[in-house]
Amino acid sequence: MQADSGSSVSIYGRLAWAHNFGDEIALDAAYLSLPGSTSTFTGTAQASDLALVTVGARATLTGGWSASARFDGEFGGDTRSYGGKGKLAYTW
C-alpha cells in the first residue's frame, strides 16, 4: 500500500507446521581431565507437532525514516514460545 506522500506500508505473514521426528534428547559428555568418567544429560521432551506463525509490517516514511514490527510464535500441545521485535531507522 502506498500513500501519496511517498511513504509505503507492507504487511507480511507466514503460517507453517513443524513435526519433530526425534523422541529422545540426551547428550553424553566425557571429561578430558578425568579419563573414563562420563555423564549423560537429558533435556526436556519437545512437542511433536508445532504451528509456526510470523506476522509483521514494514513502513517506509518520508524524510529517510522507516519502521517495522514483527511477531514470531510456536504453538503446540502444551508448548508456547513467542517473541517480537521492532525497529525504527533513519537513513541519510
How far, CA to CA in Å, does 83 sit from each of 36, 72, 80?
43, 5, 10
Length of the chain: 92
Can you give the pLDDT at residue 39?
79
Can you give the pLDDT at residue 9?
95
DSSP 17: E
pLDDT tens, position by position, 63-86: 899 999 999 999 998 889 999 999
Average pLDDT along the chain: 86
Question: 33-58: buried (b, 16+ CB within 10 Å) or exposed (e) per residue?
Answer: eeeeeeeeeeeeeebeebeeeeebee
Torsion angles phi and psi, residue 69, rounded to 5: -145, 145
